[in-house]
Every structure is written in structure tokens, then in C-alpha cells.
Structure 1
Amino acid sequence: MTRRSLLLGAGGAAVSAPAIVSAQRLGSAPLVSVVGAGVFGSWTAEQLRRRGAKVTLIDAWSPAHSRSSSGGESRMTRAGYGRDEIYARMALASLAEWQGLSKAAGLPILIPHGVLFFFQNDLSYLLASLEVHRRLGLATQSLDKAALQARFPMIDFTGVEGGMFEPRFGALMARRAVQTLVQRFVASGGSFEQRHIDGVSGVPAADRIVLALGPWLPKMFPRLLGGRIVATRQEVFTFAPPAGDARYSPAQMPGWADFNGGDVFYGFPDLEGKGVKFAHDAHGPEVDPDTQDRRFSDQALAEIVAFRDRRFPGLRGAPLATAEVCQYENSSNGDFLIDRHPDEPRLILVGGGSGHGFKHGPEVGRIAAELALDGTAPDPRFSLATKGAKQKREVI
């Protein structure tokens, strides 16, 4: 995984030819190198393996390491995407893969405690989500304020006009999920190598090279992807619930998101005793994943505590359990990037998780694998051409 700005075609200048010389014709056991063992890269490697490719997965550190966007404890899986049916469908298809991986693992990967979205003022996102879910046959429940308060008494729904509950979805245990997937990938014939790749020229010779580098992807191709994918600082906090109070357990409390216009807070119940999680889904300042300060800020903590005390009055005064600093890698519009490099078609670029990508790992991997092996074009939304240089998130 590179840590230097490289030059390649539209992104700069040269990649030495041996790095991407075809080792054999695509067909029988094509050779594919996947660089980046986060959720996108690991699922791409597994989907390629299932399709008969000989796959080497490479990362400079261990899968889902602490500085990656796939590290950490929990990620939300949900099909609520407003009018963006493409992501609802991808989440639903991916859910089956996560369920299978969770059943095969020694510890749970998917915790299906349900997901609750609630809304103030503008209900357009809610209504659009419910319409998509009806078409998909999902058992999503529409709840008015009275029903919300009766069913989820640990939350104060002041100002809320309506909500939706997705009973099949919940939390994915992120680091465990990726590490389990890579273990099973290797046990099934794939190869994992922990090594530093200083540019595309350092990747082993292969028929295809998939670059799923998360926040390091724009560092590899600064001229091509600079501004199109941007890493931003994100802070996450957990608080210890009161002793003996089971309201904040996964058996009673869902994952949740409070939609207030474009301002969204979200969180989880007390998963595996780590504490009740809170985060603000707003893009922080742009950062370098190699050098950003991983200490939490007093300002971010104060903002979360103020929100917590207003929406979750039973947690007022709850002690801070953990504080973590990570990053999103945001595409300019929030859509994923799954496309060929414009000057070297044997390079596949996969990234732009944009804070909502983890749940879609299985489907992103499938789409990337089909592009690499069969040339099947992804949905145009995932093309490089749709990513401008100005940040304007359109997917929430």
C-alpha cells in the first residue's frame, strides 16, 4: 500500500510495465492482486476467489487495522436510503452474506437488534424509504410519535414527527467481520500477504490489480482523485450505561439515527459491554490518514454529550467509556467508486465508502469482481466520471 503520491496516466506519469503485464490469459484461474484488506478489498478478494481466480490480498498491516476505515467495533447495516433504491437493494443482498459469515464465525458478526430512524420536520426521506421498502418486500414498520415513545422509552422524541423501524438489520462487528472473512478466504485457497507496496510498480504481476485503499487511494493518485475522494476526521464516543439498567442492551435498544434536516446523529446500544455509542454524521476537517491526530477533541465530546442529554435523558452523567478518532473517505457525491483506471484498464479502482460503505462490502466486492473478470460495467453511479472535484454529498 503506497504512502507516496504516485504518477499514472491521468493521475500523473509512469507505472513500470512489469507490474501489470498479464501473467496469463483471463479465463482459467486468472491471477488477481487486491491491495487493501479493508471491507471492500477483502470482499472483492473473496468474490474473485469464488469465481475461480487465483487471488493475492495484500496490506501493509493486518486486515481492518486500527488506522483503516474498516477498523473499530461496530458499523450499521440498514436499507433505509430514501429514494436511493440502489443502496437499499445492495444492503439487502449484502445482508445475506453477513448472516452467513456470522453463522460461520465463533463470535457474532451481525447483531440484528433492529435499526430505528426518526425524523423532525421533513418526512420526505422517511416516505421515500418506506416506498422503496414496500417494493422490496421488507417488513419495515412506520411509527408515529406516540408509537415511538411507547416502544422505545429510553429515547426522548421531542420534536419528532415520525419514524421507521427495520427489524432485520442491526450492527456489524467491523474488525471481527473483516478478520474472519480474510481467515476464511485464506482457508479456502486465497493468499494474504502483509507487505508494504510502494506504488503500483511494487504489486506482484497479475492479470488484474484491484486497488481498494480506502483513504490512501487519493494519495496514490493525487492528480486523478484529489478532490474526488477526501478523507475527513470523525470522532466516536461510548458511555457506560447505569448499573443494572437493561434498557440500553441490544435486547431492548436498537441502532438508531436522528434525522434533523441534513444534520444526523446516530448510535448503537451497549454492544458486548463496550458502552452506548454516539457519533455525529457530519464530515469533519480533511485529514491525512497517516498523520492525523488520533486524540479526541473536547469540542466533539461536548457536542455529543449535549445531544445525548437531550435525546437520552437516562444517560445524563454517564461516564465516558471510550473515545476513538477515525476517518471517512468521502467521494464527492457519496456514491462509491468502482471503475477502471482511465489510462490502464487492468487497474480497478474501488473506494469512496463515504461513511456508509461497510454494510455494502459483499455487493461492492461482487461488482468489482465482475468488472475485473468479465468486464461487466457497474452502475454508472459508481463511475469515475460522476465524481467531481467539489464535495457535495447526495447519499445519506
Structure 2
Amino acid sequence: MTELSPPQARTVARRARAATWIVFALNGFAVGMWVVHIPVVERAAGISHPALGALLLVLGGAALAGMQVAGRLADRFGNHRIVPVAGILLGVALVLPGLAGNWWTLALALLGFGFFNGSLDVAMNAQAVVVERAYSRPIMAAFHAMWSIGGALASVAGAAVLDAGLPAVVSLGGTGLLCALVVAVAGRFLLATPAASAQESTVDERKSPPARLVWLLGLLALAMMLSEGVANDWSALYLRDGLGTSESTAALAYGSFAVAMTVGRFATDRVAAFAGPVAVMRYGSALAALGLTVASASPWVPLSLIGWAVFGLGLSGGVPQLFTAAGNLDTRASGALMARVVGVGYLGLLSGPAIIGGLAHFMPLNVTFVLPIVLCLLGVIFAPALKPR
């Protein structure tokens, strides 16, 4: 292969960065469009809320499986090849829930959607690590901010198509087609990663990262993502039921959290370049614990909203730094390592709502928030695990 000159290498890296931004945004948009269509799909399938909850667990399980498969395939064939394949298949799978007419067809649809969404999640994060290496400075958090922006745009677009009365199969199908086409084009500009050779597959195990370090990163990802899930699922409910606000005011709790998290992710890369990933995790986790403490203890709505915003700001940098750390533990198995850490973290996102809901049967909702506060403090204690190696 011809070696690129420094200007050419910078141009290739910039194009790969833009392409990866687009993939993250489109993934956030696709997931967001599915989320806003959940009530419509539930009615069309003729299922109850408990049945929907069970099927969403099917989606989560399929996503976990997709992460593990994609991680190994990314190491074997290169994540630049897996990203467009997973993105195109996700676009195809997105239309399937709109076609479901009963519980079992919806289950099959969610199996496909979950599997390919999990596959794309791991593959695009692995590509983001490669692009970040090319830049030689932190840029991971901005990719995650683009995912959030994609989700926000989906909430607006979804509301518009639902208000217009478009059938779910049309709006989800159109979104899927858009995602498939754009990801296919963006995939041409991703940075190539070498496929694993037979020799590399037999590398001395003693050179592999310690298993306990991989699981520690996974535990921290679980802690951060479970805490994020608390805001996603319980912040508005707490303001409505705990502080007696209206539905519209209660919605500001999640809004303040989400906006602060997105802004924080755009700022995190500069902070990480200056202070390092350990500081981002340590002080961000401490800030998140403080914010949630204020949000859950304050009897005043404005102060509680500030607390939710501080909570989002504190959490904004942790997960991107964890994914970067996992992807750089061993470049020979970056995808598989990323899949483990992302998969364990995803368990937190899935289990968090159920855990908090179960605890809320025995204690006030704001008291259950002690759990995510303690989990954030784990980020303070174990932040040195992110030290570059």
C-alpha cells in the first residue's frame, strides 16, 4: 500500500471522522424513530403493556447477541466492513415492526432490529476508536453527542409523521431506507482496519489485557449506563409524582438532563485532551453524584431541574472514555473487547428501569436514587482503570 503524505493522511482522517459522525447520528435517528412509534406498533400488534415489556427484553437480548457477534467479525474482517453491512441490515430491519400484526411477528421483528442495532453499535464504536487514533487526540465523546442529536431529531420528525397520520410501515420504512443508503455511502470513507491473520489469532495470551481489567471497565460502563437509564425512565415521573408538577413541567427534567449531556459530550473531548480520561471519569462521576443528590433531595422544582442538568453534565464524558479505553486495550482484539464492555454496560441500561421500579414498591422513588448515586461514586473510586496503557 502506498504511504500517504501527512496532508493526505489528515484529509483521509477528516473524511472518516465526518462519515463516523453521520453513522452515529443515523443510528440515533433510527433508534429514536422506533421509540416514538412504540405505542403505534403496540396497538397494531394487539398486545398488552406487560407483553410489550417482555418483547422489549427480546430486543435487548438480541442486541447483546449482535454486539458479541459483531465484535468478533470486526476483528476478523475489519470494522470498516462491518459498519456498512450492519447499518444496511438495520435499515432493512427497521421496517419490520411496522409490519407486525401480532405478538410473534413483532417478536421476530424485534429480534432482527435488536441484533443489527447491537451489531452496528459495537462496529461504529470500534471504528470511532480507530479514527481517534488517527487524530492522536480525544474525539470519541463528540461521536456520542451526534448519536444524541440524531435521537433528538427523531423525536421531532416522529411527532410530525405521527401527527400527519402516516402508517408506521411508511415512516419506519422511509427511515430505514434513508439509513441504509446514507450508511452505504458513508462506509466508503471509513478508515480501513487490517483483518486478523492466523498468526495474530495465536498471539501469546500473556500479552492480552488482564481479564479483571476488562470486567472492571464493563462494571463501570454498567454503572454509568444504569445511571443514565434512571434519568431516561424516571426523571419526569419523579417530578410529576414526587414534586406534584404538571406533565409538561415534568418533561423538563429529562429535557434538562439530555441537553446538558449532549453539550457536555461536545465539550468532553477538549477536557479529556487537557486533563486525561481518568480525571474525566473521576470528577464527572462526582459531579453526577452531586447532581442526582440535589435533584432527588430538593423540594423546589427549579433546583431539582438544575440537579438533573448537573447529573447529565457529569455523566456525559464517562461512557465515551470507557469505550476508548476498551478499544485500546489490545488492537488485535479491539472489537471483541469493545463488545464485552458495551454488552455489560447495556445490561445496566436494560436492567436499571426494572431495578428502580422494584425498589419503588418498598420506598419513595427519590430514595431509590441512592443506588445510581452509589454507582456514580464507583466511577470516582475506580477511575484509574482508564489510565492509558
Normalising by structure 2, we get a TM-score of 0.23
Q: Which has the higher helix share?
A: 2
Write 1 or 2 for the structure with the bigger share of strand.
Answer: 1
Give the TM-score, by structure 1 length: 0.23
